[in-house]
Structure 1
Amino acid sequence: MKILVAAFDPFGGEKINPALEAVKKLEDTIAGAEIVKLEIPTVFQKSGEVLRKKALEVKPDMILCVGQAGGRFALTPERVAINQDDARIKDNEGNQPIDVPIKEDGAPAYFATLPIKAMAAKIKEAGVPSAVSNSAGTFVCNHIMYQALYLSAKELNNIPAGFIHVPYIPEQVVDKPEKPAMSLDDIAKGLTAALEAMVEYAGKEDLKLVGGTTH
């Protein structure tokens, strides 16, 4: 089994992206699966092009994209990606699409096809905070999750794909005392647990656990 794990470079004025740094720390084999690591640019459209090129080259069995969500306290597997770019800030090449469809021929939304509840449960078993998230936002994280699922549906025989957000690391919140942070080692530990769950539940139904929110 081969899993493509893609993570964004720094953006929004940050000098580091914990998503990328944590992915770099992952073992090359997890639960018997080969882990193929990919750095992707925090750029609308280009991120999808980079992911597509690598995926068609390596032909993975699953895709997991990873991004930073400053302000969250836990690792959060995402449930859904919407077919809409609505950027609050510019991406790393100055693009700021407002109310623009990601794919004109794509579905209004795609649900993650990874076992997101099993992933969250496994992360918590590893001693790392985790919860299912029901919004990946409308920036490049939602964009790449949508691109991954679109790619899976159109060109990769519906292989499981999805996205997980990670928090800031401590050095990023020195001047943001109101923001939570998590150590890079714990983020990498959580991602490892998520990947273990992906392997364990490959071809199986996800866990039926409470994962909803009231708002």
Structure 2
Amino acid sequence: MENDDPIPLSALQHWLFCPRQCALIHLERQWAENAATADGRILHERADQPGRTRRGEVRTLRALPLRCHRLNLVGVADVVELRGGIPFPVEYKRGRPKSHRADEVQLCAQALCLEEMFDQPVSQGALFYGETRRRTEIVFDADLRALTVQVAAEIAAMLNSGTTPPPAFEARKCGQCSLIDLCQPRPLAHHPDVAGWLRRQLRD
């Protein structure tokens, strides 16, 4: 039976960081916090105060609920600036810009929601990083849009299957993850090959 529950926008970022982490959070409903997630939560609490302001020609909406029926996505935008009526999403992140595209995909997913909600193209947005205190502007080009749609489909397939991906231990990545004690990536990724052991015993 297919899972019709909407996919949280944060799941796309989790999936690109680690599919197993995504499943633990969004399929198994597990969570643990560390210093990094606490910093991120505090940063979002500051940004996610609902309201609207205007400065010059720019109207700013905070904590705007988002929905994309086409991809079955749901979430909340930290900030959406309306520039001449055209939405410009701004997502707040701790740390600094990353080598992978997880943050960009999450922001692009917001843009796809806004395009459906406002019925007009959203060509770019920005990521604001707490460590650098600067915005990184992101263009929603064809490659990023395709990757975002692909990731949403992969998460939907995982949720529909009800199967958590197996662990793949990566010291640097796993060391940053708040779910490491729940995931147990090192021992589970190197579990004994029971089936192989049985085959060897039967041959002997």
**TM-score normalised by length of structure 1:** 0.26
- Structure with the bigger percentage of strand: 2
Rg (Cα) greater in structure:
2
- Structure with the bigger percentage of helix: 2
**TM-score normalised by length of structure 2:** 0.27
